[in-house]
Structure 1
Amino acid sequence: MTLRDADSKENIEAYLARNQGLSFVAVDSNVIVAAVLAGTDGRRGYLQHLTVSLGHQSKGIGRQLVESVVCALDRYGISKTHLFVHHSNNNAQQFYQKMGWFPRDEVRMFSYNSSLNVEV
């Protein structure tokens, strides 16, 4: 997971307000141990960030959070969801592929930055 300046508290709050009911946390003994940030453009779902604390990995928590996102998006009528994984993050790629996600090698992501801040 890469956090950028665009992931500021204010920007995340605005994202959550626009995408209510699509992001989730997992709590153990009143401590957040995992979180997923997701949203939609009204046509497709986007799983933005998923993180599980090291001590809680490999317990199915990440899987449950991803399934919660997919179910929540389905209630909005969104049946296709995209996510981005760093090329070098083999663990994440294997995790998602075990859940039935598949790489899309026929498309290439392009970005445009209208800011002078390269970390947005």
Structure 2
Amino acid sequence: MASFNILFAALAVLLFATQGHAWRVWLYRDSGHRGGHIEMSGDGCVNVPDDFNDQATSVNTHGGCVRLYQNGGCSGRSIEVYPGTGAHDNLGFHDDFNDRTSSVGPCRSKRSVEYKPFQ
């Protein structure tokens, strides 16, 4: 039984270590988390679906950090959005990023390490 507990603990540590860059975000069409929205998540770069490309005005990062990119493939101008940035309700207030999101990825800064993986 003790060896099972050690094996289980080692597996849990390995699984936690590989999820360090996981992110989750909801993108909304309108400010204040209104209008239609899509739910996205990943551990790397994900392109916004064509029917929602360049339409995000507000976001919910679920307490984590995401990087929004102006172009597909996580390229072009980008911003990090995390609790405290003030951009969640209106991306236009953060480097005029309203209706410019084409792809989403993990944050590059240490803020991504502070993110707790979602359930």
* Pairwise same-fold verdict (TM > 0.5): no
With normalisation by structure 2, the TM-score equals 0.26
With normalisation by structure 1, the TM-score equals 0.26
Higher RCO (C-alpha 8 Å, min separation 6) = 2
| Structure having the larger proportion of residues in helix | 1
